[in-house]
Structure 1
């Protein structure tokens, strides 16, 4: 049975906007919970409303979900800054949303590789957040996507900028494997997970149709842009050193967690349910690349 109203936390971000659009297309009324609704653009649709809410504030979360049939937590913090840290957003904030979603359908966005044993503080927080969500709402559906891409994203935009350099640095030898997921496919997965009773309470690992090494991804971006550049292997030890040096800057262009993320593959487990179980055929990165860059 389709839910009539959905509250989306993180609904103004890159992924959140696509989730909101997918929900509206599926006939839902959507409430976008954001820290700064006054900065949000005029309503994109008369079925979309905005409300002030910070996932770190349980009372604000409770107000945001009042009257909602379902909840989506798409809040993401990749770099700690300006009083925001991984623990308060991905763990305590996720717990607050899960408590607020009690008695409702909840879809929680996490990430492939979430593990409390990871060296990355970001990945550890994602894993603890999943645990907190499970404790507060055992019927929550958790989606773990690989790296997201799409028009005007940070992933492709960064690669596009890097491949303008005369020498393009690689993380290690560029062998880290990624399974890029188109943002619209993940948005569809949220809607399908919400509609399918069989998805309730399960964890889905979502990877795109193709798996690529980091070097291959750079080569595809350069080919799409008509560029020819030297790809230069850079040892991870050097990247870690650069991240330590950059940490003294107000807005570091590189962090330790970003380097650690590139040390590990981001590929869906073949043993975990994925897009197929949600009835979705994901797009291939190479096939969608030109459209996204355009």
Structure 2
């Protein structure tokens, strides 16, 4: 099947499309010719997406996964849907259970009621109903709810996602600017960072029918690296002479408790850069890499014919700004 313009004239609703991953997914779908309806809580903050498509091709509507009526309205007239809604830390009504479990079920039920079976749901490697992490349990519960409600749905589980606006490499680049040491919990934990553009391309392929219905795909880049080596890479690219401070999981738990306390006492004003939660520490106890089962069954980027981008090909294009003199660093005599 030719997927170049497979979506021409057809409408897809992208829930949570205004975020980091969302803008790349919206662009990939617009290039395929889809009319894209971006459904998010604050559509007034998503107008930066409109230049990614032609005149009238991308529109924004208000929707909240806790409001079934808004989900139904966002899907009206659509032929396909993508659910990108997710959070990395809880706050207020935005709990893992509410957003990534019940929210995923609500989107799937709205799709079922609208007669939409072409649904792509973004989860995460590490989703596990028996995990000690509430994040991982909620992700697994969301996956189960989606497949139970829309059996033809496609689940995508990426490892940590990187790209120009990521909250991974940019976080450590920023820390290297201000601190003499960069703390790392779970230094030996392995990751398989995947480029956001490759994730977006996979979403587009799934909507065009190039993936197995009802399957769970695991998305990872070509390199498996320890957490410590990834931070050291950031320090090398940004040319910052900093020490990597390796913290034990017990110390990480203590730091997370203090961070959560200060965040609450400051009414949310405690710097996001310094925040850490106990749940994040739990996640760092386990490798975040593509499973051997997914590789054997072709449920990977390579299995879909995608050659994943390397960290070295992408990360330096945006990490340069953390050098002492930014893009002019190489011109210094």
- Bucket of the pairwise TM-score, normalised by the shorter protein: over 0.9
2:194 corresponds to: 181
Q: Displacement, 1:168?
A: 2.3
TM-score, normalising length from structure 1?
A: 0.95
2:180 corresponds to: 166
Q: Which runs of 5+ in 2 are unaligned?
A: 321-333
Provide the aligned length of Structure 1 versus Structure 2.
293
- Any conservation in 1 of the 2:211–2:304 contact (CA below 8 Å)? no
Q: Which runs of 5+ in 1 are unaligned?
A: none
1:222 corresponds to: 235
1:147 corresponds to: 160
Q: Displacement, 1:197?
A: 4.8
1:16 corresponds to: 22
- Any conservation in 2 of the 1:31–1:50 contact (CA below 8 Å)? yes
- 1:70-107 CA-to-partner distances (Å, cap 9, x unmatched) read 10000111111132111111111111111122232000
1:292 corresponds to: 318
- Any conservation in 2 of the 1:193–1:278 contact (CA below 8 Å)? no
**Is 1:276 equivalent to 2:289 in the alignment?**
no
- Compare 59-68 and 194-203 and name the one that shifted more: 194-203
- Compare 15-24 and 33-42 and name the one that shifted more: 33-42
**Alignment partner for residue 261 of structure 1, among 262, 266, 283?**
283
Rg larger in 1 or in 2?
2
Q: Displacement, 1:198?
A: 4.2
**Is 1:194 equivalent to 2:207 in the alignment?**
yes
What RMSD over aligned residues (CA atoms) do the two structures have, in Å?
1.5
SS at match of 1:119: coil
Q: Any runs of at least 4 consecutive aligned residues in structure 1 with deviations exceeding 6 A, and if so which? A: none
Q: Displacement, 1:277?
A: 2.2
SS at match of 2:146: helix
Q: Displacement, 1:37?
A: 1.4
- 1:22-49 CA-to-partner distances (Å, cap 9, x unmatched) read 1001111100001111333263332001
Structure 2: how far apart are the matches of 1:167 and 1:90?
34
- 1:157-198 CA-to-partner distances (Å, cap 9, x unmatched) read 1111222321222214x1110000111110001001111354
- Any conservation in 1 of the 2:154–2:215 contact (CA below 8 Å)? yes
Structure 2: how far apart are the matches of 1:264 and 1:93?
25
**Is 1:63 equivalent to 2:89 in the alignment?**
no
